[in-house]
Amino acid sequence: MTDIITEQATAAASGAAATEQFRSKQRAERIDADTKRVDTLVTELLTAAHDILCRHKVTYAEYDALKSWLIQVGEDGEWPLFLDVWLEHVVEEVAGQSREGSIEGPYYVPGAPRLPAEATLPMREDEVGTPLLFQGQVTGVDGVPLSGATVEMWHADDDGYYSQFAPGLPEWNLRGTVIADEQGNFKIHTIQPAPYQIPTDGSCGRLITAAGWHAWRPAHLHLKVSAPGHQLITTQLYFEGGEYVTDDIASAVKPELVLDPTPVADDSGREVTYNFALDTA
Ligand code: MBD
Ligand code: FE
């Protein structure tokens, strides 16, 4: 890396950015849940907690440790991280969007630079990592090509950092909004991301250490694929044989989401084809 890093990535800084990002998006708007549903869900959640406290004879010292940890999660801004790592995968399964779907995670930023159907994601001149060509076609479930479909891609760099959530990276590094051609085809040139370690210096990190877990997600590409009149697919794609593919801290790997890129002819990188079939809205 040629840039001199003057600022360290911290849990609190990436947590604050993720909290800010979440607050600004549509889905975070208040919903008018009816009283009965709130009563049911919260009562069941509390009853499950009461049961655990009783069965394990949780002490006052442990209760206070929990209380202080929960307070710290908020102060670190790590609620988006905690929830997306340990709960979102079940919400996604229940939503059952499609077999192709996966969780969004805390690091999506809307409005990445718009790019033509064949494009290179914004990256530094000396971006480290194996070049990867990710190409494919967006169609409807009926196989009809979706002209001008939008393929948004975002992923970590070779050090496992996401732009806008770690210091020292160009604003839109490794983030782009690719507009497919008339046949729904796209070719995205990027680099293969590295496995991602969730911040270890914040409250989620403390939990992981305290529980003897590891903090890793396998290397992954994030995607949102959409077209007018069709349902958005939010997904992630992983790499065959990669570290943590069978042991993701966020439990978000599905076999159909694992890519197996092949070396390109001159051995200058790898390429893979992956198609998207969107349901009608
Ligand atoms: C990530 O990069 C991610 O994709 C998820 C789901 C949670 C934490 C970090
Ligand atoms: Fe991610």
Please say whether the beta carbons of 178 and 117 come within 8 A: yes
**β-sheet bridge partners, residue 272:** 134
- The protein residue whose alpha carbon is closest to atom 6 in ligand 1 is 105
Please identify, by atom number, the ligand 1 atom nearest to the C-alpha of residue 222.
Answer: 4
Whole-prediction pTM: 0.93
All structural domains of the chain, each given as residue ranges with its CATH number in brackets, are: 1-281 (2.60.130.10)
18 CA distance to ligand 2 middle (Å)? 12
| Residue given tokens 């990256």 in the structure block | 123
Give the number of whichever ligand sits closest to the CA of residue 250. Answer: 1
Q: pLDDT of 208-257, one tens digit each?
A: 999 999 999 999 999 999 999 999 999 999 999 999 999 999 999 999 99
The C-alpha R_g of the chain, in whole angstroms, comes to: 20
Q: How many CB atoms lie within 10 A of CB 147?
A: 15
Please identify, by atom number, the ligand 1 atom nearest to the C-alpha of residue 196.
Answer: 2
Q: How confident is the model at residue 6 (pLDDT cuts 50, 70, 90)?
A: low
Q: How many CB atoms lie within 10 A of CB 98?
A: 15
Q: pLDDT of 51-60, one tens digit each?
A: 999 999 999 9
- The protein residue whose alpha carbon is closest to atom 4 in ligand 1 is 105
- The protein residue whose alpha carbon is closest to atom 3 in ligand 1 is 105
Please identify, by atom number, the ligand 1 atom nearest to the C-alpha of residue 156.
Answer: 2
The mean of the pLDDT values for the chain is: 94
Give the number of whichever ligand sits closest to the CA of residue 248. Answer: 1
What is d(CA 93, CA 24) in angstroms, rounded to the nearest whole number?
Answer: 25
Please identify, by atom number, the ligand 1 atom nearest to the C-alpha of residue 220.
Answer: 4
174 CA distance to ligand 1 middle (Å)? 15
Tokens of 173: 């590094």
Mean pLDDT value of segment 164-169:
96
Ligand 1 site residues, Cβ closer than 6 angstroms: 81, 84-85, 103, 105-107, 196, 198, 217, 250, 252
DSSP at 14: H
106 CA distance to ligand 1 middle (Å)? 6
Please say whether the beta carbons of 129 and 191 come within 8 A: yes
Please say whether the beta carbons of 183 and 143 come within 8 A: no
